[in-house]
Structure 1
Amino acid sequence: MPVIDALEQAEAAVAACFDAATWAASEHDLVVALDAAHRLEQRVAAVKLALVREVDGRGIAAAQGASSTVVWLRERLRLDGGAARRLVGLAASVDAAPCGVRAALAGGSVTVEQARVIAETVETVQAAAGVEVADKAVGVLLDWAGQFDATLLRRMGARILDHVAPEVADAAAEAALRAQEARAARDRQVTVSEQSDGRLRLSGILDAEAAAVLRAAIDPLTAPAGPDDTRSPGQRRHDALADICRLALRTGDLPENGGDPAQIVVTTNYDSLTRQLGAGALDTGLHLTPDTVRRLACDAAVLPAVLDGTGQPLDLGRQRRLITGPLRRALVLRDRGCAFPGCDRPPRWCDAHHIHHWADGGPTTLTNAVLLCGHHHRHLHHTDWNVRLTADGHPEFIPPTWLDPTQIPRRNHYHRRT
């Protein structure tokens, strides 16, 4: 019987099943019917892949004016590009698979994805241990396919040599690991794309070692910073990455950039800074809000410049008001970490915040400073929380009225006090 006639008969039979009253079927019949529908789905998928492989092999797409079989399938079957590409790849994998795998797929006993996993695993086994061992692997994998989905089957297939050729398993595993490391080294990359509003889009692939380093550094910083932390997991990861970069800048161990220490440079007018008016400009040309400029100025070096009437620099003064050296050490001894209630961030992750802002006349003294992690530093600048020192010399925080109408002061009890 021609393929088209058989498919038309099958389509008619399936259409009749769709109109059947499934509500009247018994529980047993429903389960049996579901199993049968699943087998039929796999068989139809196998037929579809065989047709795609033949269309691709004959060059029908090019003959009909398409640039590739993927493009032809995308237009013909109204698929997206990724689905069409996977379909062509699956067709090639199944076509190259051992006869037993194709027979199992045609019989509906394995899914298309399972067949692909088996085919790729057997190809690897054959390259490592030869045809005879590969044939043994087919039988084992087909047996496992009756118990495990494609994802688990792939994981188990990674150690298939332990079952079919233990004498070469260790050497093959080492070779596979070396190949995996080589692929990771080749594919590692990070892309930084600058958006029109100054934000950056990060994307990339890290090798196993770099991924472990990143997780070790970022995971401790991604936990919520207290019961009032409303940031999403993605926002916490963002802030953790920024905190790690700030820590790296604070160490002073980064290579120089253009003859200067690695740093961010913000330019603002003094009157604008003191009156909380006007924006600041980064050396990249982008602008920051007044609130952000004042927050950055809390724990940064301020270098005053004398400008002429046209805004040209005539004289650069010395850095001043930065909380460093003995003063910062005294601050660390007092606060022992972020002083915001409930926060456990250690001193090395913290900025020194002027309680009464330096630009407003606040002194750079221990009694006018408090340690805050990056998140709570931003939080204090952009919300109605307030901080003050008590009679015992330790900071306490007054919550906004919407959080606590009585505004009972709160302290951080996480860090050990002496």
Structure 2
Amino acid sequence: MVEELRQAEAAIADCLDAPAWALPEHDLVAALDAAHRLEQRLAAVKLALVRALDGRGTATAQGASSTAVWLRDRLRLGVGAARRLVELAATLDSAPTGVRDALAGGTVDVEQVRVIADTVSSVHTAAGSQAAQKAVGVLVEWAGQFEPILLRKLGTRILDHVAPELADAAAQAAMEAEAHRAHRDRQVTLSELRDGRLRLSGSLDAEAAGLLRAAIEPLTAPSGPDDRRSPGQRRHDALADLCRLALRTGELPEHGGDPAQLVVTTSFDTLARQLDAGTLDTDLRLTPETVRRLACDAAILPAVLGGSGQTLDVGRQRRLVTGPLRRALVLRDRGCAFPGCDRPPRWCDAHHIRHWADGGSTSLTNAVLLCAHHHRHVHRGEWTVRLGGDGHPEFVPPAWLDPDRLPRRNQYHRRT
């Protein structure tokens, strides 16, 4: 397979060098159709490879928390795209043979595969295997004419074509299946933009959508005749108000050993003379004016940092026992320190580099932040953890993974 893929890659490279502008229009259209078919057939191969790697546990064996995270680093994908690749591989693996053949033949694309698989599953539940097999043929034929969104809409009435005697009775089942899909696909994504803002996107099921509307709409009304905020800006501000209200209740569960809270790191000059920006423990930047405003209603925890960013001394709040040490770890590691992990500080445990049971101290020089997955992974003993010369953690991989055992560091949380 590897040699055949290399030959295909070479053939595609030759196509890239060919002057497309010189082709007559009918050849351009034919070449576009062929390129699209080839893209779908390659997608089928890629998904089969992803499914095989996922089944073998390659990702976790190499230290990644999941196949999606491993694909993110291996193929340099966004984590959302990597997760979708794993999900599509699983969908194709469980899809009827006719659907897999259609993708391998280039007659459907991966998004249509997801629609067909969902629809056939609903038909199987409502009308049995014979009707489901008929539905595959109908849907594959429709896929040659309709894009995924319209294909899904048409699929809601597929029983009219494959089992008309059950169509009316199955309407309720189809509605329930759609509700199940909405529940399965529910998700909210927070994507950091280059300037420190977050892009919020996602899909809410009907219940969560109703709760959000009920909570946010009373806060989105214009504050007065001079309020020039757009509707989108008012919804943004209302969401921020909801978060403030939730934090002030004091009823949220602890997160990472600390109360749910907004943590800002800044210099004394910033606070006193409004000279520079502050930084959240998620690495987002805040303006000096915002830092001073937040400080009006905040507990202040002083810390002294060395020139390379290592924490030299951390103050103590009376009501906290382990808080100062954890804050020092957050300031130093900025999140899970294991190479390639992007988990934030509040998802992490404090790990003793030399185990406490073996006499290791509970101190900054003997601690490192690790997410739950990598905490378990390090405790298996294959990776060695140590502090480098600049006081920051580095990880030595096992010999089977890297015969030279070169130390690795996490670059996601690196200070710039």
Relative to the length of structure 1, the TM-score reads 0.47
The structure number with the bigger radius of gyration is 1
Relative to the length of structure 2, the TM-score reads 0.47
